[in-house]
Amino acid sequence: MRAILSIVVAFAAIALAASMAAESTDVDLESSDGVTLKATYSSPGRPGPGMLLIHQCNMDRTSWSGITAELVDAGIHVLTLDLRGFGDSGGEGISGGFPTFLQKSAGDADMTLEYLVSQSGVDRTRVGVGGASCGGMILADLAARQTDVKALMLLSSPPSETAVKNMAATPGLAIFAAATEDDPVTVGVADALRGAVKGSKHPHSTAKIFAGTEHGLPMFEKNHSLESELLDWLKTELSN
């Protein structure tokens, strides 16, 4: 009888674990001007922090698949977004002009973050945002509007003056920045990120500046330790 009971308990535990397994779901989000944006929400199947990731402007949300898998394995809920005009999202993208694109994407990012923190099990007191190139620019400004953001990741993303001022004025916001010295896409981004991190009051803010011309995620291919250092940093900052 005890053996049978043990088997039943074991099967119940397996069933519970399966019901709480990590899963990814594609979702449609409607912007304030009626554009349908596509995102992917990946849940670890248990309560934990949240992370919003936005791609650079020559990629889409699938570029984050490896980092997403690592974060979800660590118990972090992840939402990746296709910016308007990119990937599976509607809208004109940057063809209507980059300043207009950034302005519209600001509202898109706010809406997307609100979707993430509204999901069951997401701890909105432990939320990070991060992006590459234009994605990071958008999220650096979001962090200046959304005071609950705890960690900000910028890959080859020159922050605006408003974003830099927010980093200096917000000791609770940790910054991870990476760039190459001779980035031809965002010229001067290495110095901009050095300065932003230097002005941050958070003790764990860090800048990783490399020789080379890689822009955004291609930095991982040449600088092999960068991805693991970034993941370790995110896991540490969001777990506290």
Each residue's pLDDT tens digit, 160-183: 999 999 999 999 999 999 999 999
Q: How far apart, in whole angstroms, are the C-alpha atoms of residue 52 and residue 24? A: 14
Instruction: Report the amino acid identity of residue 115.
Output: Y
What tokens does 85 get? Answer: 């005009």
Each residue's pLDDT tens digit, 190-216: 999 999 999 999 999 999 999 999 999
pTM of the entire predicted model? 0.91
Q: How far apart, in whole angstroms, are the C-alpha atoms of residue 152 and residue 234? A: 9
- CB neighbourhood size of 119 (10 A): 15
**156 near 183, Cβ under 8 Å?**
yes
CATH number of 22-239: 3.40.50.1820
**127 near 51, Cβ under 8 Å?**
yes
